[in-house]
Structure 1
C-alpha cells in the first residue's frame, strides 16, 4: 500500500527537512533508525487514488487539449491577414499549452505504474519545467492581454503607439524570458532518484533541499502569480469603472470594443477562479504545512490531498485557453467555419458556389 509518512515536529534536524510527500518520505525514513521512527509519531496516508484519478484526469486533458490547441495553431498558420496584437498573445498561449500537453503521456504512464518513472533524468527535468512554464507563461500572457485591453478601453488614443504588433511581440518575448529565468531553479531541484529499487521523479525536490525549495516556492508564487494577479485586478477595476460610465462616454470605444472587453473580463476572471487561484492556495498551504512540520495528522492529510487533487485541474487551462482564442480573437470563429466549408467544397466541387476569400471581395459599383 502506498502511504505518506510525516515526521512529527520533534524530528526536525539532521536530514529531515519538513513533512515529506510519498516517495520523499520513504527515502528519508529509510535513513532513520527503526527505534527512532517508532518514537516519532508518523502520519500515514494511502495514495492509491492517484493511480486512477491522475491518470484519468491527465488523459482527458490530453485528449481535449491536443486537438483544440492544434486547431488554433493551424488556423493561425493558415491565416493570410497579419496577426493582430490579441492573436499574437493568444498564439503564444496555445504554443505553451501544446508543449505542456505533449508531456502528459509521460505522466499518465508514470501514475499508471504507481509513480515509477522509466524515462530518465533529462525527461524528468523537462516535464517538471514545462508544467510550470505553461502555468506561469499562461498567467503572464493573460496579464499582457488584460493590459492591452485596458489600454484600448481606458486610453484608446494615447495608447495607440503602444498597441502595435511590434510591442506585442516584444511583450511575448519578455514574457518567455521572465518565465525561463524564474524557472531555471526547477531544473536543479527536480531530478530522479531510486526508492526501494524503483526510479522516481521528484515534483518538488529531495528532503535535504526542501527548505531551499520552500523559499524558492514563496518567491515564485509572489512573482509569477500574486503580482500578475494584482495587475489584472487593477486593470479590470479601471475597465469596469470606464465601462459603467454613461452611454455617451462610450462613443470613443464603440460597442464591439466594449463587448470584447466584457468578454475578456469574464473569461480571464473565470479562468483564474477555476484553475490558478485554487492551485496556488492549496500548493502554498501544502508546502507551508510541510515546512512547519505540523503535528496535526488530519491537517497534513488534508493539505496533501487538496494539493494533489487541484494540481491536475490547473492543467484544465490548456483546454480552456483555445476558447479565449475564438471568443476574443475577432473573426476567429468565422475563419474556422470558412476553413471547414472550404475543405468540404474542395472535396465536392459541385456542391455550390465558390466562396470568395475574406479580403478579396469584388465590389460592383453602379455605372
Structure 2
C-alpha cells in the first residue's frame, strides 16, 4: 500500500511516495529500544535507590536522566502498535498529545541534564577549589529542578500542536502538527532547536574541550590521581560526545532540513522524499539514548556498581565493604559532593573525587 506522508501540507499533497517501510522499520526499532531501555533504566533506578540513603551529585543527575528515559520508554508500546497497524492511531487524541510531549521531554530533558553533568564536571576538573561552594547536593537538586521546569515550559506548545486527524478514512497522530498550523510550528521548531539543542551542545563542547586539554596535560597535583582516573574521565567524555554524535546531531539536522523544505513549499518531490526518509529513519534512533544513558551510569560507578549489584543479587543489601563505621557507600561517587577515603593529602582527596 502506498501511503501519503501524514505530515505533508495541502500544497504538497501531489508528492506521493511510499512509506511502507515505517510499518516494519519503526515497529522493529521501537521494539528493540523498549526491550533494552526498560530493564536497563529500571535496574539503574533500583541500584541507585538501594546503594545509599544520601545520594551524591552524580546520582542526582543520573537518576533524573533515567527518569526521563523511563517516561519515554513507557510510551513506546503505543507507537509500536500504531506503526504495526500501518500508521493508524487507535488511542484517541489525549494519548496522542501525551506521547508526543513525552518524546520531546525525554529528548530535551536528556540534553539539558547532560549539559548540567558536563558543567559540573568541568568545574571540578578545571576549577576544583573555586567551584567547591557550587558543587553541592543542594545545587545539584536546584539544577535538576530548573532543568525540568525549563523543559516543561519549552514543550508546553507541543500539547497544542500535537493532534489527531483522519486521512484516507483512518485516524492518525501527527508527529509535528496539522497542515493548517505548520507555519507556526516551523517557527516554534526552529526556536526549540536553537534553545534546546544548539546552545546546550555548544556549552558541552566548550566544557569538554577544556577538560580534555587539562586531562591530557595534567599538572603536578593532578598527576597524583594516576593515569587510570584520567583515562576513566576521558572515556566518560567520549561517551557523552558519542551520544550526541550518534543520536542528537543527525536527528536535528535531518529534522531541520525536512521542516525547511516543507516551509519553503519545495516542489522537488524527490528532494522532499529524501529529506522525509532521512528524518524518519533517524527519529527512532534518537531514542537510542534511552539505552545508552545507563551505560554512563555503570561507567561512572565502575567496579563499585558491579559489586553492589552482586551483593543485591545474593541478598546482602545493607552490607558494605569494610570501612569506617557509618561510612556511606561509595558506588556513585563520580563528580561526588563528598570526599573519598584513601588519599593522603587534601588536594589528592579533591582531585581523586573529581576524576572518579
Report the TM range for the smaller structure's normalisation. Answer: 0.7 to 0.9
Aligned to 1:358: 321
Distance 1:213 1:264, change over 3 A: same
Aligned to 2:309: 336
Aligned to 2:341: none
Give the one of 240, 260, 269 matched to 1:288: 260
CA shift, 1:254, in A, is: 5.8
Between the aligned partners of 1:286 and 1:197, the Cα distance in structure 2 is: 26
Give the one of 288, 295, 299 matched to 1:327: 299
Size of the alignment, in residue pairs?
Answer: 325
Once the two structures are superposed, residues 117-139 of structure 1 have per-residue CA deviations (whole angstroms, 9 ceiling, x without a partner) of: 11111110000000000000000
CA shift, 1:253, in A, is: 6.2
Between the aligned partners of 1:280 and 1:138, the Cα distance in structure 2 is: 14
Give the one of 140, 143, 148 matched to 2:120: 148
Query: 1:258-273 residue pairs with structure 2 within 5 A?
Result: 258-273=230-245
Give the one of 251, 254, 274 matched to 2:246: 274
Distance 1:112 1:124, change over 3 A: same
CA shift, 1:241, in A, is: 1.7
Which structure 2 segments of 5+ residues have no match?
A: 326-356
CA shift, 1:250, in A, is: 1.8
CA shift, 1:93, in A, is: 0.4
Which structure 1 segments of 5+ residues have no match?
A: 5-21, 30-39, 347-354, 363-367
Between the aligned partners of 1:106 and 1:236, the Cα distance in structure 2 is: 37
Task: Indicate if the aligned counterparts of 1:151 and 1:159 stay in contact, CA closer than 8 A.
Answer: yes
| Structure 1 consecutive aligned stretches of length 4 or more whose deviation exceeds 6 Å | none
Query: 1:1-367 residue pairs with structure 2 within 5 A?
Result: 1-4=1-4, 22-25=5-8, 28=10, 42-248=14-220, 250-251=222-223, 255=227, 257-329=229-301, 331-340=304-313, 342-343=314-315, 356-358=319-321
Between the aligned partners of 1:83 and 1:259, the Cα distance in structure 2 is: 25
Task: Indicate if the aligned counterparts of 2:31 and 2:76 stay in contact, CA closer than 8 A.
Answer: yes
Task: Indicate if the aligned counterparts of 1:153 and 1:258 stay in contact, CA closer than 8 A.
Answer: no
CA shift, 1:335, in A, is: 1.5
Between the aligned partners of 2:202 and 2:122, the Cα distance in structure 1 is: 14
Q: C-alpha root-mean-square deviation of aligned residues, in Å?
A: 2.2
State which structure, 1 or 2, has the greater radius of gyration over its C-alpha atoms.
1
Q: Tell me the SS of whatever aligns to 1:161.
A: helix
Distance 1:104 1:248, change over 3 A: same
